[in-house]
Amino acid sequence: MWKLLRCLAPAALLALGAGAASADSSKSYEIVDGGIPASLTGKPGDPAAGEEAMLNRKLGNCLACHAVTKLKNHPFHGEIGPALDGVADRYSEAQLRLILVNAKQVFDGTMMPAFYKSEGFTRVMDSFAGKSILTAKQVEDVLSYLSTFKEH
Amino acid sequence: MAFTTTVKRSVVGGVALALAGLGISASLAQDEESGRTNLPSIEGEKLLTRLKSPQGHPLKWVVSGFEFRTRDTQALQLDDFSNPAFLWVERGEEAWSTAEGEAGKSCESCHGDVEDSMKGVRAKMPKWSTDKNRPMPLEDKINQCRKERMGAEPWKWESDQMLGMTALIGLQSRGMPVNVNLEAGDMMAWWERGQKLYYTRMGQLDLACANCHEDNNGKYIRADLLSQGQTNGFPTYRLKWQKLGSLHRRFKGCMDQVRAKAYKRGSDEFVALEVYTAWRGSGLSVETPAVRQ
């Protein structure tokens, strides 16, 4: 009985946490040829929710470091990373998924945080301990939005 | 005493204003090291805000946070009458000559005129203490005096009293080059500990000081222009805080932002980081109390 409960509890949390701001702990995923081919949730993401998560300063906060022409109505785009215009032309969906999940596995020594990683950090603040920046769903949402960043 | 210092400052400020009005300001000074004309100056004291780094320094140029701020913010700092930090300096002046504690002494009882006795003190902080066998930031020095010489309660690190006193003492070094003595005692071990912290990625965002302040200074992170994280202006009036704040408060702010568990103000880790970051700014003019965004 206890075993069963323990299995159920995280599932219940996941269901509740899908739209919540604080992320769950990351699950395992398979890397194939420098990318993650399979959706982390088993489902395609929602691009509108992805745009929200990209902009939200407590979630993706992508504009902190990257400029995005189609988000020009939001002021102050960062200059740290490359502009994201046309990013879906440069990388496959599987590559983009791995870059979002943990960019350090693609770009050695990059400053970009891993958005779907919950362990292995130094001195994480208690309120974020054991949590990833984004949930699996939010990664898929951002990815589905990024996949529309095509120029060709 | 507090009154006379204020008056003196007003008179000097008045002269500087009058000169500026005639178009004769100290800003025509040329500095050999930076090759710059038009160095910023406050009350005729010029400030070196940029210098070429010595060999072996991790940065090519050492640049004060002053240069990363807008003209409006700079203007607040360049005029003591508009610099809000002087509200704290005036508190510090009052405290300087107020007797407290069992010994019935004030700072002035032992140290006399702050303008003479405290000149250059801030520029050398943190300074090795043989007594305590560790480097001491100004805050620790002040509390050591309060406890051991005055028999008074120590001040809290981020209290208005402490900020007033560190601002007042720091002001007496304004314009003098930052010059930490790493040869005293075990200072090099503390420098190394600070260096290690500087390059250690921390928190959920997994960022080290160096990621922003060494590799990306001069670039915008959202609406903020990243500086080199120099320490020469602390305690600093920060517009975001609407208050004067200590260097260790600023360290904590950065750690909060990367979602790391911050060290405590005055902790060994922050003292080590202060030693190391002060060294990175060697040669910059002390700007205490600076104004930042």
pLDDT tens per residue, range B115-124: 999 999 999 9
B178 in a domain, yes or no?
A: no
DSSP class per residue in A68-128: -GGGTTS----SSS---TTHHHHS-HHHHHHHHHHGGGTSTT-SPPPSS--SS-SSB-GGG
Mean pLDDT of chain B: 90
* Chain A residue with minimum CA distance to B263: A123
| Maximum alpha-carbon separation in chain A | 56
Q: Pick from B171, B204, B228: which residue ends a domain?
A: B171
- Domain of B140, in residue numbers: 86-171
Q: What average pLDDT does the segment B209-228 reach?
A: 97
Query: By the 8 A CB rule, do B62 and B283 touch?
Result: yes
B103 in a domain, yes or no?
A: yes
Whether the predicted pLDDT of A14 surpasses 80: no
B177 in a domain, yes or no?
A: no
Task: For residues B154 and B187, state if they share a domain.
Answer: no
* Chain A residue with minimum CA distance to B252: A125
Task: For residues B192 and B68, state if they share a domain.
Answer: yes
Q: What average pLDDT does the segment A5-31 reach?
A: 52
pTM: 0.87
Residues A70-95: tens digit of each pLDDT: 999 999 999 999 999 999 999 999 99
- Is A122 at the interface with chain B, CB within 8 A? yes
Task: For residues B188 and B111, state if they share a domain.
Answer: no
Task: For residues B58 and B190, state if they share a domain.
Answer: yes
List all residues of chain A from 45 to 84 with a beta carbon under 8 Å from chain B.
Answer: 57, 61, 63-65, 75-80
Binned at pLDDT 50, 70 and 90, residue B132 comes out as very high
* Cβ–Cβ below 8 Å for A113 and B260: no
Between A150 and A5, residue with greater pLDDT: A150
Query: Which of the listed ranges B31-40, B52-61, B250-259 does the model predict with the highest average pLDDT?
Result: B250-259
B29 in a domain, yes or no?
A: yes
How far is the C-alpha of B170 from the C-alpha of B164, rounded, in Å?
A: 10
Task: For residues B133 and B274, state if they share a domain.
Answer: no
CA distance B214 to chain A (A): 12
Query: By the 8 A CB rule, do B204 and B123 touch?
Result: no
B275 in a domain, yes or no?
A: yes
Task: For residues B116 and B235, state if they share a domain.
Answer: no
* Domains of chain A with CATH codes: 47-147 (1.10.760.10)
pLDDT over 70, % of chain B: 87
B144 in a domain, yes or no?
A: yes
For residue B114, give the CATH number of its domain.
1.10.760.10
CA distance B251 to chain A (A): 15
Number of domains within chain B:
2
Binned at pLDDT 50, 70 and 90, residue A27 comes out as confident
How far is the C-alpha of B119 from the C-alpha of A75, rounded, in Å?
A: 45
Mean pLDDT of chain A: 87
Task: For residues B140 and B161, state if they share a domain.
Answer: yes
Q: For chain B, where are the alpha helices, taking DSSP H only?
A: 2-21, 71-78, 86-96, 107-111, 114-117, 138-144, 160-171, 187-198, 209-213, 247-257, 268-280
Q: Pick from B120, B136, B171: which residue ends a domain?
A: B171
Whether the predicted pLDDT of B22 surpasses 70: no
Helix (H, G, I), strand (E, B) or coil at A4: helix
Task: For residues B216 and B285, state if they share a domain.
Answer: yes
| Maximum alpha-carbon separation in chain B | 55
Lowest mean pLDDT among A12-21, B85-94, B188-197, B236-245: A12-21
Whether the predicted pLDDT of B20 surpasses 80: no
B46 in a domain, yes or no?
A: yes
Whether the predicted pLDDT of A6 surpasses 90: no
Instruction: Kindly report whether the peptide bond that precedes residue A113 is cis, defined as omega within 30 degrees of 0.
Output: no
C-alpha triplet B8, B125, B176: angle, nearest 5°: 45
The residue among B195, B199, B264, B254 whose CA lies nearest residue B226 is B254
Residues 6+ apart with CB under 8 A from B149: B103, B105, B110
CA distances from residue B88 to B83, B123, B169, B216, B225 in whole angstroms, order as listed: 10, 19, 11, 33, 27
Q: What average pLDDT does the segment B14-30 reach?
A: 38
How far is the C-alpha of A53 from the C-alpha of A142, rounded, in Å?
A: 7
Between B86 and A16, residue with greater pLDDT: B86
**What are the chain B neighbours of A124 within 8 Å (beta carbons)?**
203-204, 259-261
Task: For residues B188 and B252, state if they share a domain.
Answer: yes
**What are the chain A neighbours of B207 within 8 Å (beta carbons)?**
111, 113
Task: For residues B32 and B160, state if they share a domain.
Answer: no
Whether the predicted pLDDT of A43 surpasses 80: yes
Q: What is the pLDDT of residue B287?
A: 98
Residues 6+ apart with CB under 8 A from A108: none
Token pair belonging to B169: 């003492």
How far is the C-alpha of B260 from the C-alpha of A123, rounded, in Å?
A: 5
How far is the C-alpha of A46 from the C-alpha of B239, rounded, in Å?
A: 39
B207 in a domain, yes or no?
A: yes
Cα-based torsion angle of the residue sequence A100, A102, A108, A111 in order, rounded to the nearest 10 degrees = 70
* Cβ–Cβ below 8 Å for A125 and B204: yes
Q: What is the pLDDT of residue B234?
A: 98
Lowest mean pLDDT among B4-8, B41-45, B57-61, B118-122: B4-8
Token pair belonging to B232: 């020469």
B212 catalytic per annotation? no
Residues B186-203: tens digit of each pLDDT: 999 999 999 999 999 999
Task: For residues B78 and B188, state if they share a domain.
Answer: yes
- Is B260 at the interface with chain A, CB within 8 A? yes
- Please state, as a whole number, how many other Cβ atoms lie within 10 Å of the Cβ of residue A41: 17
Query: By the 8 A CB rule, do B263 and B255 touch?
Result: yes
Q: What is the pLDDT of residue A18?
A: 35
Task: For residues B195 and B262, state if they share a domain.
Answer: yes
Whether the predicted pLDDT of B70 surpasses 80: yes
Whether the predicted pLDDT of B9 surpasses 50: no
Binned at pLDDT 50, 70 and 90, residue A25 comes out as confident
**What are the chain A neighbours of B221 within 8 Å (beta carbons)?**
64-65, 78-80
Q: What is the pLDDT of residue B141?
A: 98
Q: Which helix (H) or strand (E) holds A15?
A: helix A2-17
Q: Pick from B113, B144, B171: which residue ends a domain?
A: B171
Q: What is the pLDDT of residue B23?
A: 34
Q: Which helix (H) or strand (E) holds B221?
A: strand B220-221
